[in-house]
């Protein structure tokens, strides 16, 4: 189904992100979205299309939050991993239900391109355009795995931070090897 008004669609996606943050994905229904937005369920469906399109839009929005958190200030130098890990751990603590949604849902190719465009230019391959969707999927999944692994260490905040910092440094090295130099 064709999206009729991008502004309304964006407001619906924002509302669903808020609802997931408050209650979790398992409590989201078209009827509840409509009640929250004061729209009929048919209006929600008309503007977002299918459930897959809604999931893609919401996952994109959550991934954008993660990228903004990850690259806040575009920190340069040897402390990038630990500082980014601290920021991500803070976000994870504030938004555990959004994190659960992010690690459970796969991105679309359009979503990957949209989110990737938010990455600071210091990480952009100069003059070559963005990497192919398959490469972006690899990094998205690697970030999902790093966040899932971090959750498993919830009994020890120091181990969480060290693990996530190491994984982020590894991802950065992989990005430079696979994207920036090829």
What are the tens digits of pLDDT across the range 1-44?
454 688 899 999 999 999 999 999 999 999 999 999 999 999 89
Same domain, 9 and 98: no
Let me know whether 42 and 118 are in one domain. no
Looking at the domain assignment, is residue 55 inside a domain?
no
**Looking at residue 166, what is its pLDDT?**
93
Q: Which pairs from 71-75 meet CB under 8 Å and 24+ separation?
A: 71/118, 71/119, 71/120, 71/123, 74/120, 74/122
Whether residue 117 sits in one domain with residue 33: no
Residues 44 and 68 placed together within one structural domain of the fold? no
Q: How confident is the model at residue 75 (pLDDT cuts 50, 70, 90)?
A: low
Number of domains forming the structure of the chain: 2
Token representation of residue 177: 């090897």
Query: Is residue 21 domain-shared with residue 84, that is, in the same domain?
Result: no
Residue 1: per-residue pLDDT? 44
Q: Residues 86, 162: one domain?
A: yes
Q: pLDDT tens digits for 78-126?
A: 457 788 899 999 999 999 999 999 989 888 888 887 877 777 766 666 6
31 and 118 in a single domain? The answer is no
Within-domain flag for 16: yes
- 165 burial level (CB within 10 Å; 0-12, 13-18, 19+): buried
Are 46 and 122 in contact by the 8 Å Cβ rule? The answer is no
pLDDT band at residue 51, thresholds of 50, 70 and 90? confident
Using CA atoms, how far apart are residues 169 and 20, in angstroms rounded to an integer? Answer: 29
Residues 109, 78, single domain; the answer is: yes
Collapsed DSSP state (helix, strand, coil) of residue 104:
helix
Give the pair of three-digit tokens for residue 118.
């938010």
Confirm whether pTM is higher than 0.75: yes
pLDDT the model gives residue 91: 94
Q: Are residues 39 and 116 in the same domain?
A: no
Q: List, for residues 129-182, the tens digit of each pLDDT value.
A: 667 778 888 888 889 999 999 988 988 899 999 999 999 999 888 888 877 776
Residue 54 lies in a domain: no
Q: Tell me, yes or no, whether 40 lies in a domain.
A: yes
The per-residue pLDDT for 81 is 76
Is residue 73 located within the same domain as residue 146? Answer: yes
Question: Has residue 105 been placed in a domain?
Answer: yes
Give the range of the structural domain holding residue 5, as residue numbers without chain letter.
Answer: 1-49
Q: What pLDDT was estimated at residue 58?
A: 94
């Amino acid at each position: 189904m064709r999206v009729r008004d991008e502004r309304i669609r964006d407001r619906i996606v924002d509302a669903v992100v808020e609802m997931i943050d408050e209650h979790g994905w398992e409590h989201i229904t078209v009827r509840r979205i409509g009640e929250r937005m004061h729209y009929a369920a048919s209006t929600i469906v008309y503007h977002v299309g299918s459930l897959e399109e809604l999931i893609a839009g919401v996952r994109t929005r959550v991934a954008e939050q993660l990228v903004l958190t990850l690259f806040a200030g575009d920190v340069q130098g040897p402390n990038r991993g630990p500082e980014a890990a601290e920021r991500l751990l803070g976000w994870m603590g504030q938004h555990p239900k959004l994190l659960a949604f992010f690690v459970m849902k796969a991105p679309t190719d359009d979503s990957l391109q949209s989110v990737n465009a938010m990455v600071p230019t210091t990480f952009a391959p100069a003059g070559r355009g963005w990497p192919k969707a398959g490469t972006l999927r690899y990094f998205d999944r690697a970030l999902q795995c790093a966040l899932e692994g971090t959750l498993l260490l919830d009994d020890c905040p120091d181990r969480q931070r060290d693990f996530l910092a190491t994984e982020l440094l590894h991802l950065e090295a992989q990005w430079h090897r696979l994207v920036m130099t090829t």
